[in-house]
Amino acid sequence: MTSIATHPSAPLNAPSQAPLREPLRPRTRSPFVKKFLANKGAVVGAVVLIIFILAALLAPWIAPHDPLKANFLAVRKAPSLIYWLGTDELGRDLFSRLLWGARSSLLAGGVSVAIAMVIGVPLGLLAGYFGGKLDAVISRIMEALLSCPFLVLAIALGAFLGPSLSNAMIAIGLSAMPIFSRLTRGQVLAIRHEDYLEGARAIGLPDRWIILRYVLPNVLSPLVVQATLTIASAILAEASLSFLGLGQQPPSPSWGSMLNTAKNFMEQAPWMSIAPGVAIYITVLCFNLLGDGLRDALDPKS
């Protein structure tokens, strides 16, 4: 029988004057970082997103105009040196509104996915770990929530909660929650009978400890990938709700509500429709690229 302590690199009879300093090793990048950096799309996505997030954070300082101040002398002006992206129907600068609107879009993406994960992941952990009746109940509830298309559910919830950005985030988060619960449950089921979990149970660790210290870290990476991809759908959903008038309320800018107004001026001021749409499209595209890249980099099979 071999003892765990006898590791080939640490012979028991090692001389006591052995150097304590670790031998110098060449710096190696983890395979994850290497794979991620090799994926050009994912890197571009990450860089663009960092720029967007910075722009949103710095909006009060870098926006050239007040996003809310109407100027009736400059109504629906085409893009120019003063108004880089033109002005809207109240003479507000579109570039400044775009920067401020980035805040609501990115915030909505992040917060709604956080809501979805905070509720969905623990439910999935419980359902997968304990199984039995608890699993049956949780899984049925998730199925019921999943039986309604994401957007229809978010619209219905948004309607009942009342139109506002925070309610839109709650509605999107609740609609996205079953995705995380299901994914977590599936991942837990896959590892439930692994030796390290059996071992942890055998030495009598409490379930709460096992779930937090042994199960959760081992199911985390698919959750990170899913979170990134869900932020993309959440931003689209927030834009959709705002476009319908169920999200950010005027006069505060949001990309979706900017498009809602812009559609009334397609002939007179087509530029009003271009910038917010491009902004949503690029942000969502970058989150998708990032998510795909993370998935490929975290997948041990590839």
Report if residue 277 touches another protein, rule: CB under 8 A: yes
Candidates 52-60, 77-85, 204-212, 256-264: pick the segment binding another protein (CB under 8 A): 256-264
Judged by CB under 8 A, the residue of 54, 118, 270, 299 near another protein is 270
Residue type, 11: P
Report if residue 240 touches another protein, rule: CB under 8 A: yes
Closest among 244, 231, 230 to 158, alpha carbons compared: 244
Report if residue 2 touches another protein, rule: CB under 8 A: no
Nearer to another protein, 177 or 284 (CB): 284
DSSP character string of 203-270: TT--HHHHIIIIIHHHHHHHHHHHHHHHHHHHHHHHHHHHHHTSSSPTTS--HHHHHHHHGGGTTT-T
Report if residue 171 touches another protein, rule: CB under 8 A: no
Report if residue 52 touches another protein, rule: CB under 8 A: no
Judged by CB under 8 A, the residue of 37, 141, 189, 210 near another protein is 141
How close are the terminal C-alpha atoms of the chain, in Å? Answer: 37
Candidates 88-96, 184-192, 217-225, 258-266: pick the segment binding another protein (CB under 8 A): 258-266
Report if residue 64 touches another protein, rule: CB under 8 A: no
CB of 102 to another protein, least distance (A): 15
DSSP alpha helices (H): ranges in the chain? Answer: 31-38, 40-57, 59-62, 94-130, 132-146, 150-161, 165-191, 195-202, 207-210, 216-244, 255-262, 271-298
CB of 289 to another protein, least distance (A): 7
Judged by CB under 8 A, the residue of 125, 170, 289, 297 near another protein is 289
Angle in degrees, 0-180, between the axes of helices 40-57 and 94-130, rounded to the nearest 10: 120
Of residues 149 through 168, those in contact with another protein by CB under 8 A are 149-153, 155-156, 158-160
* CB of 163 closer than 8 Å to CB of 245: yes
Compute the distance between CA of residue 161 and CA of residue 246 in angstroms, rounded to an integer.
10
Report if residue 207 touches another protein, rule: CB under 8 A: no
* CB of 188 closer than 8 Å to CB of 129: yes
Candidates 54-62, 71-79, 127-135, 136-144: pick the segment binding another protein (CB under 8 A): 136-144
Compute the distance between CA of residue 254 and CA of residue 259 in angstroms, rounded to an integer.
9
Residue ranges that bind another protein, judged by CB under 8 A: 140-141, 143-145, 147-153, 155-156, 158-160, 232, 236, 239-240, 243-246, 256, 259, 262-263, 266-267, 270, 273, 276-277, 280-281, 284-285, 288-289, 292
